[in-house]
Amino acid sequence: MIALPILDSHTPPVRVMALHALAYCPRLFYLEEVEEIRVADAAVFAGRQLHAALEAEEDGESVCIELSSTTLGLTGKVDCLRRRDGSYLPYEHKRGQPRRLEDNTPAPWPSDRIQLIAYAVLLEEAFGQPIPEGRIRYHAANVTVRVPIDEAARADLQQALDHARRLRESVERPPITDNERLCARCSLAPVCLPEEVRQDRQPERDPVRLFPPDRDGATLHVVSQGAQVGCSGDSLVVRPRDQPQTKHAIHGVESVLLYGFAQLTTQALRKCVEHGVSVHWLSITGHHTASLTPTAGQVQRRIRQYRALTDEAICLRLARALVHAKVEGQHRYLLRATRGGSTVREDLLSQLSGIQDCLRCINTALDRDSLRGYEGTAAVHYFQALRAILGPQVPEELRSSTRNRRPPLDRFNALLSFGYGLLHTAVMRAILAVGLEPALGFFHTPRSAAYPLVLDLMELFRVPLWDLVVVGSLNRSQWDPNVDFTVTRAKVWLSEAGRKKAIGLFEARLEETWKHPVLNYSLSYARTIELEARLLEKEWTGEPGLFARSRLR
């Protein structure tokens, strides 16, 4: 018999299900156990339903038992335990098919086998008697496979435990698996993005679509001043001061945005945390003030981010890609807007020429300060050109000759600022969901309460998610200069009616789908923000090359 090492009692135990994940894919183990990223997909829920049904049909011989060993450093829950011929017999129930050997003999999958071995060793210690074998029931094939608990099995368990502990001490993610078929069944494929990595390495390849096309839930915007958000059962209840209350099932809500003096009860806040719903506080004018996002296991992700973004060469490379994508997006949008006639093109010619000059210099910029200069110059040309692409039907009150903010001094800039506030929060949600530190960026410098990484990622989406939307809505005469704005000598901001209209336009844009020009699959703009945040993280986890490559068509 091979003895397993005795561990210090302070060493965190390894979950048996984690060993199952390790045998399936070391990267899956790392994401779940080290970075604590867990996603329950349809297959996971189906497995839980199977176990619940089996427990309901218990025949008196079966028992489910939780086991833990400080000496082995293992903990887990045996699905089914029976007694045969004076010896205990652990059972595992699996929904799928068994592995088939060359002669078509059913055999356990490596991940299922190591899981059962771990349970058997835990049972041996708990009951003080040897466990000669375990069994795995594959329900899809109606087959039971026997697994001997011999010296070879114990050696495999020791090797798996050693591997698991080495990975837990590392801050580096293991590479994606070479077995592409495993990824198609993995619940963490939208986090791992293995197909995107393979497509970057083999550009001629068509990636298998594993990233979800749309977000998981809706965003609840609470705009009415004095409104209170409470909870009732599994629903959030919004109670405005002078309007009927509304209920929103918590399972259909992805995030809650509170504007100005809207309130959230402690009970509702707890409900949001329990269900992974992020909460964000904004000012009446849309300025982001704070966020609460239930997250865990971010240490390794943030260590990698800090190590990368304190390297000037990495920061300069990322900043070049970012600024080029932003300025090229501005240039493409203005070119699209000139398709209508020669008069507009003549008005824009000098501005387009100025932006092109900046584009030519970006990829050879020697430092980030130079890049900020090119980006700022291009922005001056861009905002001057925005006035020219507004149609003659747009009243003068909704126009502006220059970009101003903090506070905006006219209606056009109030629209831009409020929409950028919404975009800031959307990007913040994505960054926190990915587990990055929003205060550590690579292009913007820390100032006031703004988060540099959020400001960095926002640059990719200002044109497609708000500039294009605002100009289009103005040209369609969707704004009332008197009803949708509050005007004083010191500043201009959106009224409650204006805020609701802007939120509606922004949310509609997030729901729109487009085909990613590099990855060649369609997804919503809401999911695009998260995808870009995950591609950014790949730039410093050994899989660079895809960040900031998408472009406005």
Task: Name beta bridge partners: 495.
Answer: none
Return the closest-CA partner of residue 7 out of 142, 168, 119: 168
Task: Name beta bridge partners: 238.
Answer: 229, 246
pLDDT of residue 341: 55
Q: Which residues contact residue 105 at a Cβ distance below 8 angstroms, ignoring those fewer than 6 apart?
A: none
Residue 223 region, left (φ>0) first, then alpha (ψ -120 to 50), else beta? alpha
pLDDT of residue 65: 80
pLDDT of residue 40: 53
pLDDT of residue 469: 95
Two tokens, residue 213: 């096309």
pLDDT of residue 448: 61
Return the closest-CA partner of residue 175 out of 304, 30, 15, 309: 30
Q: Please, what is the Cα angle at 444 between 505 and 293, to 5 degrees?
A: 60
CATH of region 14-192, choose from 3.40.50.1000, 3.40.50.620, 3.40.50.970, 3.90.320.10: 3.90.320.10
How far is Cα 514 from Cα 483, in angstroms, rounded to an integer? 33
**Average pLDDT of each block of 10 consecutive residues along the chain (553 residues)?**
49 90 94 81 47 48 75 86 78 88 91 94 88 90 92 94 92 90 88 87 79 82 89 91 88 89 91 88 84 74 92 95 95 81 66 91 93 93 87 88 80 92 92 89 80 94 94 93 88 90 94 87 91 94 89 78
pLDDT of residue 286: 81
The H-assigned helical ranges of 185-251 are: 189-192, 194-201
Q: What DSSP string describes 466-495?
A: IIHHHHHHHHTT---TTTSEEE-SS-EEE-
The two most distant CA atoms of the chain are separated, in Å, by 93
Cis peptide before 407 (omega within 30 of 0): yes
Q: How many CB atoms lie within 10 A of CB 360?
A: 9
Two tokens, residue 39: 């996603």
Q: Please, what is the Cα angle at 67 between 62 and 72, to 5 degrees?
A: 140
545, exposed or middle or buried, with CB in 10 Å at 0-12, 13-18, 19+? middle
